[in-house]
Structure 1
Amino acid sequence: MSPELYLSYPSAFLIGLLGSTHCLGMCGGISASLSMALPVGKGFRLRQSAMLLAFNAGRIGSYVLIATLVALASTFAASQWALAGLVLRTLAGILLIFMGLSMARWWQGIRYVERIGAPVWARLSPLTRRLLPVNHGGQALALGALWGWLPCGLVYSTLGWAALQPTVGSAALTMLFFGLGTLPSMLATGYAAGWIQGLKTHRLFRKITGALLILFGLWTLPFQQLVGHLG
């Protein structure tokens, strides 16, 4: 794979930032509930911040772990198959386009992709119930780590790009920056759930975000390499 295939970390952060309203539907509710479960009183904001940060640290940590596993598999595939890089980049571009279409509410085909992770989530989801209600940061961290495995088209789309990275470490960093991009919306959900929910359902915002993700996907697709290979 050539250097121009590699996703820059700022781009991963931007994808997380643009697509994070999609995450709110899956993780936003649990993030907001962590805040609402805390007793209001002295030190409430400090406890709220600590709980939200712990939950999101666990969630992003799982993204990094998944990226590491995917990168190990893609590195092995690339060593065994010359066209692995081309296939991976094509899949990454298609997934981003699917995610953009979903964000803009033009087509929800990404839901079929999310079913890939359903068997894993079926085993992990019962464990999340054992951690509720969350009473301290350790529980929030563990709950976030489990929640990071929730099937999510946006995560899968970025994992496709992470698989293009030259090393396992750079793939893990790609997902770290992606996770950091989702962090502002996830933290804001805990502090201002109503305002964020309004942004999530704002028609123009969703269409602009969806169009930008589609452009990211088109930019990722290796048109020149595909034409050269087919030719």
Structure 2
Amino acid sequence: MAGYALIGALAGGVGALPLLVSLQGVKLALYVLANVLLIGVGLYLAGWFSWIVFIETVGRPVWRFLQPVLRRRLPIKRWRDTLVVGALWGWLPCGLVYTASLSALSSGGMGQGALIMLAFGLGTLPNLLLMGQAAGGAMQWMRKRFVRVLAGLAFIAFGIYRLVSVLLFSHMVL
């Protein structure tokens, strides 16, 4: 959660820079892009389109730089290592994280960006805990076509909802 909040604070801070604040159109474009990518993730999860995986290549250089630091902290032996590993784990190349980060970037501030990414982290936490507890059974369940299609449809619906919201109520959303 700390890693995601840090990423959100950084992205929100960049989005709040005076140059970007004055470019409301840029923020709107980033918001739209984030939701188009969210729809792309849904299409990928449902097995209908796989172009979205190219996004993960964007973060690979950063991950290669951070991975040795992470390896030195694993397995976790001290409390502070927990925080360092958590903060670094958020930088793992992941299309979902990048999509949520674009929303944080368009949020308008460090606090809002941190909250968006914290909400993202809290939303993914149950799945991560479930995977850790029941990795074998959950993985088999997640491989079922209908589960992937339902998950994909949920992502697609949320992305479309947010796009429609920004088109109808852009003064309230951003």
Is it true that 1:149 corresponds to 2:99 in the alignment?
Answer: no
Aligned length in residues: 167
Give 2:70's aligned residue: 128
- The two structures, once aligned, show a CA RMSD in angstroms of 2.2
Question: Given the two structures, how large is their TM-score scaled by the length of structure 2?
Answer: 0.84
- Note if contact 1:111-1:153 (Cα within 8 Å) is conserved in structure 2: yes
User: Is 2:111 the partner of 1:169?
Assistant: yes
Does residue 105 of the first structure (1) align with residue 78 of the second (2)?
no
Aligned to 1:61: 2
The 1:199–1:142 alpha-carbon spacing in structure 2 relative to 1, beyond 3 Å, is: farther
Q: Could you tell me which amino acid in structure 1 is paired with residue 7 of structure 2?
A: I
The whole-number CA distance in structure 1 between the counterparts of 2:98 and 2:108 is 18
* Residue 115 in structure 1 maps to residue 57 in structure 2: yes
Among candidates 23, 27, 45, match of residue 85 of structure 1: 27
> Structure 1 pair 135/217, CA: closer, same or farther in 2 (3 Å)?
same
Contact conserved, 2:15 with 2:109, CA < 8 A, in 1? Answer: no
Matches within 5 A, 1:146-225: 146-221=88-163, 222-223=166-167
2:57 partner amino acid = R
Tell me the distance in 2 between the aligned counterparts of 1:122 and 1:103: 26
**3-state SS in 2 of match to 1:197:** helix
- 1:168 is displaced (CA, Å) by 2.2
- Alignment partners' CA distance in 2, 1:201 and 1:168: 37
Question: Partners in 1 of 2:76 and 2:31 — Cα distance?
Answer: 40
Instruction: Give the secondary-structure state (helix, strand or coil) at the position aligned to 2:106.
Output: coil
Please tell me the residue identity of whatever aligns with 1:73. V
Q: Could you list the per-position Cα deviations for residues 72-123 of structure 1 after superposition, in whole angstroms to 9, with x for gaps in the alignment?
A: 1112243232412221121111110111111112222221111111111110
Structure 1 residue ranges, 4+ long, deviating more than 4 angstroms after superposition: 222-226
Report Cα offsets for 1:161-195 as digits up to 9, x if no partner: 22332432122111111111111121222222222
Extract unaligned runs of 5+ from structure 1. Answer: 1-59, 227-231
2:6–2:87 CA contact under 8 A, matched in 1: no
Give the greater-gyration-radius structure (CA).
Answer: 1
Verify: 1:96 aligned to 2:38, yes or no. yes
User: For 1:202 and 1:140, how far apart are their aligned partners in 2?
Assistant: 34
- The 2-side partners of 1:196 and 1:142 are apart by 28
Stretch deviating more after TM superposition (197-206 or 214-223): 214-223
- Structure 1 contact 71–167 (Cα < 8 Å) conserved: yes
- Return 5+ residue gaps in structure 2 as ranges: none
Worse overlay, 168-177 or 215-224: 215-224
2:11 pairs, out of 59, 70, 87, with 70
TM-score norm. by structure 1 comes to: 0.65
